[in-house]
Structure 1
């Protein structure tokens, strides 16, 4: 099952919350975590609005500081427009924008123009640089602006406009320093939160991939168990039919009938597994097989020439444990048909002390190098048992033959493995 379907079935917060705010996903192309699409966007609207606000706010500030600072002229407005216009590149080149806005603001203040919203352009430029990961550059830019302001307000003011200006109060510098610290602090908080969003997004993606892998593994196990058992029966009966086609047509007809029934059942179970891919989340059309279908397994094994003796009472099991128990017995009998010379097997079902014990024995001898199974089937059985908190033991017996022993807890606790 693909990752998109797995993610679509899980609940949780709205999509935008899982990814962080829209502005938090924009990168700079130089170390930020945003996508190329985010970097390619031009923030025209916010830049135009900020430019209009800075121009209007500076005009109002000039009216309030008449006689204290120089009047706004064409050069002042050009500096304000340039400082605001640089913010168009804040996602593409955040370092250049941080230093550019700080330089424009420093020239503006050095020319004696009134204090006002000119600092907003520096704040946004440095904020974008910090969020994009360029912390040192942003700190250097605001530090440069503050140092330049101190130099202008306490030493160079004698030679800079407006004429007759006096040195600024040191209390004002404390306010400017607090403003700088506030910018850096807010930007750092946003950067940390953005990194947290990125980690959460990566963890969700990893969890979705893990769930998709587990779902693919589950489907592969189901298909393996269904096809291996049915094809083994078909293979044996096909050999019987070919051998008896001329000498005993009636027995050959019986073999072909068994092949038809086994193939029909296999197609039905494969279709049921594939339906879960086409309609994820929907209830299956047919119930999953369980130990109550042991008589069918015995009948199918008989069709393949294997006599199966079942001992013990079949308990009531949860659906997951019931399916796992059925598949384990099915795979064990399939391995007897394929890899053992014995034509007799014994299945023992025992439920006691809070666990279910399934034991499948055959008397051997092995007919090939892979006694007891090829490895894939045994691995699938172990995975099924481990997913329920149980165990599988499989190996040759001391007196000959082969034994598969499964121990499954009756109170099933799903065990998630790290993959």
Structure 2
């Protein structure tokens, strides 16, 4: 996982950040040196302080890109300069580099680098202090304690900053994944809504145009010999087209305000469907069995649409003037059966009517079959489970 940069880091390039880090390290060492001189008085060569200062600048500049090299350089210089009068200024530079080590190196290796730096300090205090500077110097235990505290605190702060950065990056990735999931869900809902609208329009248009086509054919056939019957057919066409326009306007009008509502015609409107179909020349024998329960609005609409589509297919393809519609209410299921005895082509020829009916049934976890009857005709069956959850 890539660590996020601080808000100000985006304003600086790599070279500018290296220069800023080098100047910061130099400033810290300079302040520490002045404090050391003020407390103990300067002793030792000035060139040692210059070397420490240069090492601090170089190590600070390299701590982001090459933290291992920067740490090795500053630790080596700090060990050699431990006995100078500027202690603990050399180790301040090491601590400045150590702060970046756990942020850019794996934790296990970073811990070993911390241990190695402390061990190098112990070696320097044990042998080099007397050998190089030819004097016993201050208390070695106090110096080692200061070094250990300085490096450990720097390492711990750097590690804590890394963990916080990782936590923040994780939260951002989680937010991004959640945003993508919400976007995918919105797209899926939009796709389902478009599909639902397409189904509704298909049912309304296909059923209405089938009725109008049949009635127009009747009117054209009897116009000369039976003008009264032709007039009734034209009146039925007018009524059917007005009803279809009213339903389509209601359906399309809500698209400006939001999703298409589930409300619409239901099983209570089957008598009107039977009447209009009879005007087109198809007699529908409607049978209802069982006590009707309270149906969800969406299921009521789907059941009506399936019957409407099946009856329309009979009108268009079955070459018969009669069909049977059976609506069965049971405590655990709603069953629909639309059957005809015609010799015509299967009701599934062409179009998407059968597929649309199957998709509607699948939405409610039901079962759907459509195919030729054993003797003759075509039968459509749909079964919807009725559960407490579905009826809520």
TM-score (norm 2): 0.69
Show the counterpart of 1:311.
287
How far apart, in 1, do the equivalents of 2:355 and 2:388 lie? 20
Show the counterpart of 1:407.
383
Unaligned runs of 5+ in 1: 1-30, 84-96, 130-136, 415-419
Relative distance call for 1:391 and 1:230 in structure 2 (3 A) is same
Superposed counterparts of 1:153-172, under 5 Å: 153=121, 168=144, 171=148
Unaligned runs of 5+ in 2: 43-47, 79-88
- CA deviation map 1:355-394 (0-9, x unaligned): 222222211112x3x4355472222222222222322222
The structural deviation recorded for 1:108 is 5.4
Q: How many pairs were matched up?
A: 353
| 1:341 matches 2:319 | yes
Q: Does the 8 A contact of 1:98 with 1:141 survive in 2? A: no
- CA deviation map 1:77-99 (0-9, x unaligned): 8659856xxxxxxxxxxxxx842
How far apart, in 2, do the equivalents of 1:39 and 1:244 lie? 86
Query: RMSD of the TM alignment (CA)?
Result: 4.7
How far apart, in 2, do the equivalents of 1:178 and 1:299 lie? 84
The structural deviation recorded for 1:195 is 4.6
Show the counterpart of 1:268.
246
Q: Which has the larger radius of gyration?
A: 2
The structural deviation recorded for 1:291 is 1.0
Equivalent residue for 1:356, pick from 296, 319, 334: 334
Relative distance call for 1:151 and 1:118 in structure 2 (3 A) is closer
Q: Does the 8 A contact of 2:3 with 2:166 survive in 1? A: no
The structural deviation recorded for 1:290 is 0.9
Q: Does the 8 A contact of 2:25 with 2:57 survive in 1? A: no
Show the counterpart of 1:9.
none
How far apart, in 2, do the equivalents of 1:124 and 1:251 lie? 95
Show the counterpart of 1:27.
none
Superposed counterparts of 1:375-414, under 5 Å: 376-411=352-387, 413=389
TM-score (norm 1): 0.65
Relative distance call for 1:180 and 1:78 in structure 2 (3 A) is closer
Structure 1, 202-211 or 321-330: larger mean CA deviation: 202-211
How far apart, in 1, do the equivalents of 2:153 and 2:229 lie? 102
| 1:256 matches 2:234 | yes
Relative distance call for 1:77 and 1:155 in structure 2 (3 A) is closer
How far apart, in 1, do the equivalents of 2:252 and 2:93 lie? 64
Equivalent residue for 2:10, pick from 31, 43, 47: 43
